[in-house]
Amino acid sequence: RKERKKGEKERRERKKERKKERRERKKEEKERKKRKKEEKERKKRKKERKKRKKERKKERRERRERKERKKERKERKKRKKGEKERKKRKKERKKGEKERKKRKKEKKERKKERKERKKRKKERKKEEKERKERKKERRERKKEEKERKKERRERRERKKEEKERKKRKKERKERKKERKERKKRKKERKKERKKERRERKKEEKERKERKKEEKERKKERKKEEKEEKERKKRKKGEKERKKEKKERKKGEKERKKRKKERRERKKERKERKKERKERKKRKKERRERKKEEKERKERKKERKKERKKERKKERKKEEKEEKER
């Protein structure tokens, strides 16, 4: 019995050991599988990262290409269209800053004109100085022939001065005309703004009157409803009054909704009207500016032509004198 007991105990111990070993193996197997799975997941993530990276790279390249194509299209379009279209797009993009830019532009134009006038004045002075210098040199060179050519030279000088005087007179006249034109446009703009203010005031007055009438009608309606309520209250019980209250509430809600919709529609109409007005105004101003620009260019061209003519004449004159000498 003692031996049997001992053998039994050893069997149990061995069984326990085997069980423990199986558990250990199982645990190791599990750990190995887990590591394998994690490795697989890591590889998968790595692959996905690479894939995403590749896709991002591809997307960037495509975006860049799209951008380039867009830019090329834009450039082609830009080359095809004229100056008018370019200005139009620019104005539409900078709608909010238009007034400020307009003032800035006008200021710039005035500055430019002043600069041009100064430049012309300077050129005239320079030409006058050069002319005087040449004259002086001629006098020095032709001192011996002075008496013989005196009358002819004086006649020439008078003629030239007369021409210069006429030229200056013409320029003054043109400047005066320009000032007059600007004044006229300013007056017209002022008149238009005044008209718009008057119209707005009129509309405001009408709106207030309508509001007042609406208030009066509402008051009357409330009074009638109150009387009706009193009459019904005397006739009907608590249940009926609750029902009527609910109905009135519903009706009031509907009325408010309709009122809100009417207000919204009115607002939209007003906005559309305002936009139309603004478009017309902008169109008119564009036309005027274009006209002014054209006139200014023509005047500039004329002045250039005259200066060229004068220089040519002067050169011929000098050559003639040189030949005579």
Contact status, residue 298 vs residue 305, Cβ threshold 8 Å: no
**Side-chain half-sphere CA neighbours of 166 within 13 A:** 7
What's the pLDDT score for residue 237?
67
pLDDT tens, the chain, 325 aa long? 778 888 888 888 999 999 999 999 999 999 999 999 999 999 999 999 999 999 999 999 999 999 999 999 888 887 887 777 778 888 888 887 888 888 888 999 999 999 999 999 999 999 999 999 988 888 888 888 888 888 888 888 889 989 999 988 999 999 898 889 989 888 888 888 888 889 989 989 998 898 888 889 888 888 888 888 887 777 766 777 788 888 888 889 999 999 999 999 999 999 999 999 999 999 999 999 999 999 999 999 999 999 888 888 888 888 888 888 7
The confidence score (pLDDT) of residue 65 equals 93
Looking up tokens 């005397």 gives 234
Quick one: pLDDT at residue 229? Answer: 81
Residue 115 pLDDT? 92
Residue 73 sits at the vertex; the CA angle it makes with 70 and 74, to the nearest 5 degrees, is 85
Domain boundaries, the chain: 298-325
CA distance linking residue 144 with residue 129, whole number of Å? 24
In this predicted structure, what is the pLDDT of residue 238? 72
pLDDT at 116: 92
The pair of structure tokens assigned to 203 is 């509309």
pLDDT at 58: 93
Residue 77: what pLDDT?
Answer: 81
The reply to whether the predicted model has a pTM over 0.85 is no
Distance between CA atoms of 163 and 306, rounded to whole angstroms?
11
Judge whether 241 and 232 are in contact, CB under 8 Å: yes
